[in-house]
Structure 1
Amino acid sequence: MKFGLEKCARINIVRGKLKQKQNIEDSEEELIKELDPGSSYKYLGIEENFGVANKEIKPRLKKEYFKRLRLILQSELNGRNKITAVGTLAVPVIEYSFGLVDWTKEEITHLDRRTRKILTMNGALHPKADVDRLYVSRKDGGRGLRQIEAAHQNAIIVL
């Protein structure tokens, strides 16, 4: 088995402070590059170093989420497939960041509200439709959309 060590980077942080590179004699350790204090490492699409730069990442995640949402809603899929596509292609963009990025309750609620607004603007949701029915599963008579707020609560509980 061969590992892609050229893609890897390391940084030694002890109790929140950067430690200098220790002299390790192992030949494989020397192949892994040392991460500079000013640079970052990308993990699951989120750049990390000492911490996560929330102010830089949140707008990028929101932009990608709403871009995917609009592309799905402008496609010629039927209603059921549009809702399924939103749950499998758009929501995970935000969902992957729940353990890494600090989202406030207001931001999560705003994402759900704006999602419903975009659904209404694209004709996928009637303006006077019941909001609760939108998030109920299809087998129980709802539309089956994944609620970002519920996904956030589940992710935090699991963590």
Structure 2
Amino acid sequence: MELLQTLVLSLLLALAIRAFVAESFVVQGHSMEPTLHHGERVLVVKLGIRWREPQPGEIVVFRPPQQPGGEYIKRVIAGPGSVVALDDGRVIRDGVVLEEPYVVYDDRSDLPPLEVPPGTVFVLGDNRPSSYDSRSFGPVPVDRLDGRAVLVFWPLGRIRWLR
């Protein structure tokens, strides 16, 4: 009986950690290259995602608006109240061209200035030519964010912290 109680308690604890604290996420596709690669596993911290808005530069996992099922992983480019635009592939936030050393693939996309509405964030993939992101579906409501990606832990040879 004691063994059964221990197993049930362990299962409940594991489910609570996965639901509210952290879980793993498998990167699908190439939209975040070169930062993240297809098949890598990342640790996604859920704790705190509701208490503070994600900051530009952070990588988040979210359920895309108007898309049933599935989760995406992208980089936050701008938060509520910021004005974001793309000019020949260059991201302009609040009138300043962003330095984006993580973007290495040539992209010439344009986007007219857009003020990010309250309660949302604007996200882009690092591999812009291969990314389905806020350029297509608009800003993401913060209540659709599942957590922040903080660590690549698989494969073992590529363990690293994320910014």
TM-score, normalised by the number of residues in structure 2: 0.26
Q: Indicate the structure with greater strand content.
A: 2
Q: Indicate the structure with greater helix content.
A: 1
Q: Which has the higher contact order (CA 8 A, sep 6+)?
A: 2
Higher Rg of the two aligned structures = 1
TM-score, normalised by the number of residues in structure 1: 0.26
